[in-house]
Amino acid sequence: MFSLHPAEHLSSSTTFYMVTDCTGTCIPSPTSQTNTETVVSLTGIPPATVTVSSNSFSIATSVIGPNAAQPGTSTTLATNDNRVESVAWESNSLWASWNDACIPSGDSATRTCLRLVQATTSGATATKAQDFDFSASGQYYFYPAVSSYQGQLVVSFGRSSSSIFPSAMATGRASSDPLNTLQSAAVIRAGTTADTSGRYGDYFGAATDPTPTSSSTFWVAGEYRKSTTFQNWNTVIGQIASFTAPGTFDYSVSLNPTSGSVVQGSGTTSTVTVSLVSGTTQTVSLGTSISPSATGLTSTVNPTSGNPTFTSTLAISTTSSTPTGSYSVTVTGTSGTLSHSAIYTLTVTGQVTGDFSISASPSSLTMNRFGSASTTITITSLSGFSGTVSLSTGTLPAGVTASFNPTSVTVASGGSGTSTLTFNGHGGGTATGTFTVTVTGTSGGLTHSATITLTITKH
pLDDT in tens, 229-287: 766 778 999 999 998 876 778 999 999 999 999 989 999 999 999 999 888 788 999 99
**More confident of the two residues 299 and 279:** 299
Confidence band of 1 (pLDDT split at 50, 70, 90): very low
Asked whether 351 and 324 are in contact (CB, 8 A), the reply is no
Average pLDDT, the chain: 92
Residue 297: C-alpha distances to residues 230, 290, 317, 353, 359 (Å)? 52, 8, 6, 22, 34
The strand ranges marked E within 64-164 are: 86-90, 93-102, 111-122, 125-134, 140-149, 152-160
Domains and CATH numbers, the chain: 5-240 (2.115.10), 250-349 (2.60.40.10), 355-457 (2.60.40.10)
The two beta strands, 86-90 and 8-9, are parallel
Confidence band of 32 (pLDDT split at 50, 70, 90): confident
**What is the sign of the dihedral through the CA atoms of 360, 365, 368 and 372?**
negative
How far is C-alpha 10 from the chain's CA centre? 32
Confidence band of 393 (pLDDT split at 50, 70, 90): very high
> What distance, in Å, lies between the first and last C-alpha atoms of the chain?
54
pLDDT in tens, 410-457: 999 899 999 999 999 998 889 999 999 999 999 877 899 999 999 999
pLDDT in tens, 343-367: 999 999 887 678 999 999 999 999 9
Confidence band of 2 (pLDDT split at 50, 70, 90): low
Asked whether 191 and 166 are in contact (CB, 8 A), the reply is yes
Q: How far apart, in whole angstroms, are the C-alpha atoms of residue 178 and residue 242?
A: 17
- The whole-number average pLDDT for the span 6-27 is 86
Asked whether 208 and 218 are in contact (CB, 8 A), the reply is yes
Looking at residue 246, what is its pLDDT? 67
* Closest listed residue to residue 188, CA positions, set 154, 213, 152, 211: 154
With a cut of 80, say whether residue 181 has pLDDT above it: yes
Continuous segment of H or E residues that includes residue 216: strand 216-224
Q: What percent of the chain has pLDDT over 70?
A: 97
Looking at residue 384, what is its pLDDT? 87
Phi, psi of 429 (to 5 degrees): -85, 0
Q: How far apart, in whole angstroms, are the C-alpha atoms of residue 446 and residue 459?
A: 40
Looking at residue 29, what is its pLDDT? 55
Beta sheet of 364-368, edge-to-edge order = 364-368, 446-457, 433-443, 387-393, 408-411
User: For the whole model, what pTM was predicted?
Assistant: 0.59
Half-sphere exposure of 207 (CA within 13 A, CB side): 10
pLDDT in tens, 62-100: 999 999 999 999 999 999 888 899 999 999 999 999 999
Peptide bond into 309 cis (omega under 30): yes
Output b/e per residue, 354-364; b: 16+ Cβ within 10 A. Answer: eebebbbeeee
- The whole-number average pLDDT for the span 148-153 is 95
Confidence band of 27 (pLDDT split at 50, 70, 90): low
Looking at residue 26, what is its pLDDT? 63
C-alpha angle 204/206/212, rounded to 5°?
155
Looking at residue 232, what is its pLDDT? 74
pLDDT in tens, 219-231: 999 999 988 776 6
Asked whether 172 and 218 are in contact (CB, 8 A), the reply is yes
Highest mean pLDDT among 3-7, 268-272, 381-385: 268-272
Asked whether 321 and 295 are in contact (CB, 8 A), the reply is yes
